[in-house]
Amino acid sequence: MHQAELILFLLGIIVAAKVAAELCEWLGQPTVLGEILAGVALFQIPAFREAPDHEAVRFLAEMGVILLLFEVGLESELSQLLRVGAQAVAVAVIGVAVPLLSGWLLLERMGYPTSEAVFMGGVLTATSVGITARVLRDLRVLRSKAGQVILGAAVVDDILGLLVLAVLVSTLAPKAGPSAHPAVLVGGAVLFLLGSVFVGMRIAPYLMGLVRRMRAGGTLVVAAVGFCLALAYLGELLGLAAIVGAFAAGLVLASTEERVPIEDKVKPASELFVPVFFVLIGMQIDVSVFNPFNPANHPVLLLALALIAIAVPGKLASGLGAFGPGIDRLLVGIGMVPRGEVGLIFATIGLQSGLLGRSVYSAAVVALLATTLIVPPWLSRRAGRLARASDPAPAQV
């Protein structure tokens, strides 16, 4: 019966996601918003409530976001990413520094202990590249200059976020943290990214040459996904997210002759599993804390509103790091706003290590979710307006 339950969960998730995405498409809203809301709705059905507790469902979601970032890497171009590299670093640094400092100051002013205030600042530094990459991709502006700046900045943000988390945990709660020195962690992450891309570029042609000589069926998809999983695993081992490794793998394979056949092969699997990731984000949103008519929610909601009031402008400011002709700084800033699952993981580490109290944690979760929900429609409206302004080339933002 256990396998039957898992089949039902997967069935419910993919069908609800597709129906909601279709509704959003008709309403002119981003489909990823529909998938997240499908998760919120599904969680209200008792039969599906346990789905996120199952290892198999969580792993399918993880596979979904890994495949998404792999595809995003496949659609990117290393030369273009390097060209916007300086901007991406500037955007990421502003996008980490401003939320960190403003979150810290806000909570310190409100009378929270310094350690809790600093850690909350850290929670607000994360950027969820998944949400933004998905929206940009659906709008077909991923390969635009702004798209590549956001993408590069989100990857740099992941490394800076790792640094912030490592420093905060090792100084504020030494027992809960990773044992390695922060500098070692960050050095490892940077080496991994550069190494995997530049070593990968040399290995990939041989790998693909080998694939061409294979006789058994299905070799290309196994080689491509295997390469992606190998770098995802290495990324996770080094304390970076698996998705950074998957992105690097896509970037490497994008330089091979098999780019297009790989995209074609990966697409159906990603169409099945990417929505699982976004539905699961939705299933983790406890909408009852948003209810303003329940007085018990008021303190949490007020703190959450204050956090949103600094979290959103704090990331919008990061757009100021972008420069050059024709780039829209507001678009870049909006793209950096969603915290998604990255911020949630950060906050959960704070709760578990005792650095964040339960009410602060709840407020952080509300604020993080709000940043996640507002971005898809906002980003698509901004991109649409820019596209209309620069007609007749809608893909160039």
Choices 22-30, 113-121, 284-292, 305-313; region in contact with a second copy by CB under 8 A: 22-30
- Using CB under 8 A as the binding rule, whether residue 50 contacts a second copy is answered as no
Q: What minimum distance in Å lies between the beta carbon of 93 and a second copy?
A: 28
- Which C-beta is closer to a second copy: that of 173 or that of 222? 222
- Using CB under 8 A as the binding rule, whether residue 260 contacts a second copy is answered as no
Tell how far CA 163 is from the center of its chain.
Answer: 17
Q: What minimum distance in Å lies between the beta carbon of 268 and a second copy?
A: 4
232 to 137, 152, 191, 250, 255: CA distances (angstroms): 21, 17, 15, 11, 18
- Using CB under 8 A as the binding rule, whether residue 268 contacts a second copy is answered as yes
Choice from 3, 79, 179, 288 touching a second copy (CB under 8 A): 3
Would you say 39 and 373 are in contact if contact means Cβ atoms under 8 Å apart? no
CA dist., res. 161 & res. 151, Å (int): 15
Choices 15-23, 68-76, 326-334, 350-358; region in contact with a second copy by CB under 8 A: 15-23
- Using CB under 8 A as the binding rule, whether residue 14 contacts a second copy is answered as yes
- Using CB under 8 A as the binding rule, whether residue 21 contacts a second copy is answered as yes
The single-letter DSSP state of residue 290 is: G
Choice from 140, 143, 265, 381 touching a second copy (CB under 8 A): 265
The Cβ-side half-sphere exposure at 189, using a 13 Å CA radius, reads 24
Choices 20-28, 75-83, 121-129, 314-322; region in contact with a second copy by CB under 8 A: 20-28
- Using CB under 8 A as the binding rule, whether residue 140 contacts a second copy is answered as no
Q: What minimum distance in Å lies between the beta carbon of 65 and a second copy?
A: 11
- Which C-beta is closer to a second copy: that of 319 or that of 340? 340
The mark string for 274-293 relative to a second copy (x by CB under 8 A, - otherwise) is -x------------------
Residue closest to 345 by CA, chosen among 359, 335, 356:
356
- Which C-beta is closer to a second copy: that of 3 or that of 79? 3
Neighbours of 42 (CB within 10 A): 24
CA dist., res. 137 & res. 144, Å (int): 10
Number of residues that bind a second copy (CB under 8 A): 54
Q: What minimum distance in Å lies between the beta carbon of 276 and a second copy?
A: 11
The single-letter DSSP state of residue 286 is: -
List binders of a second copy among 59-118 (CB under 8 A): 59-60, 62-63, 66
The Cβ-side half-sphere exposure at 269, using a 13 Å CA radius, reads 20
The mark string for 208-247 relative to a second copy (x by CB under 8 A, - otherwise) is ------xxxxxx-xxx-xx--xx-xx--xx----x-----
Q: Which residue has the tokens 């969603």?
A: 338
Dihedral of the CA atoms 328, 66, 248, 341 (nearest 10)? 50
CA dist., res. 297 & res. 294, Å (int): 6
- Which C-beta is closer to a second copy: that of 10 or that of 301? 10
DSSP E strands: which ranges in 130-247?
A: none
Residue closest to 346 by CA, chosen among 135, 106, 167, 91:
167
* CA quadruple 348, 353, 359, 363: dihedral sign: negative
Sites of contact with a second copy (CB under 8 A): 1-4, 6-8, 10-11, 14-15, 17-18, 21-22, 24-26, 31, 54-56, 58-60, 62-63, 66, 214-219, 221-223, 225-226, 229-230, 232-233, 236-237, 242, 265-269, 271-272, 275
